[in-house]
Amino acid sequence: MGRPVSLTGPHGTGKSETVKGLAKAMGIMCLQISCTEDTSLTGLDKLLVGVIQSGVWALFDQFRTMDTSILSLLSTKLIDFRNKLLQQVPRSQIVVEGVNLPVLRMQSISVQTNPL
């Protein structure tokens, strides 16, 4: 497993529930993070550090609602995480807030959006 996903679809079609259900079936905690236009990068960085350190899955709900500058910076970090995860290099690490964090093979950070 350990494959981040980006889910897009109409409201109420089960995007978030699918990710949370898969995590539950695998015995992994999934943290659902509700994004808004007020979401700050500092808060997201702290969440990312906690998520990556603990090995839980993260699901960013309503990803597109964030300010575009925050969305861009977070997307860059998530792409870096995804690339490290897909490389399947033992003891791969990602840097968030100046902290070197190990990338766990079973980890997943996913995003969910509704169409515009």
- 56-103 residue pLDDT tens: 999 999 888 899 999 999 889 888 888 888 887 778 888 888 888 888
Confirm whether 88 is domain-assigned. Answer: yes
Residue 59: domain span? 6-113
* Rounded distance between C-alpha atoms, residue 102 and residue 23, angstroms: 20
Confirm whether 37 is domain-assigned. Answer: yes
Using a cut of 0.85, tell me whether the model's pTM lies above it. no
Question: Residue 42 carries which DSSP code?
Answer: H
Confirm whether 1 is domain-assigned. Answer: no
CATH code for the domain in which residue 25 is found? 3.40.50.300
Instruction: Provide the token pair at 103.
Output: 């990338």
Confirm whether 91 is domain-assigned. Answer: yes
- Total domain count, the chain: 1
Confirm whether 105 is domain-assigned. Answer: yes
Confirm whether 35 is domain-assigned. Answer: yes
SS3 115: coil
- 12-32 residue pLDDT tens: 899 999 999 999 999 999 999
DSSP letters spanning 59-112: EEETGGGS-HHHHHHHHHHHHHHHHHHHHT-TT-EEEETTEEEEPPTT--EEEE
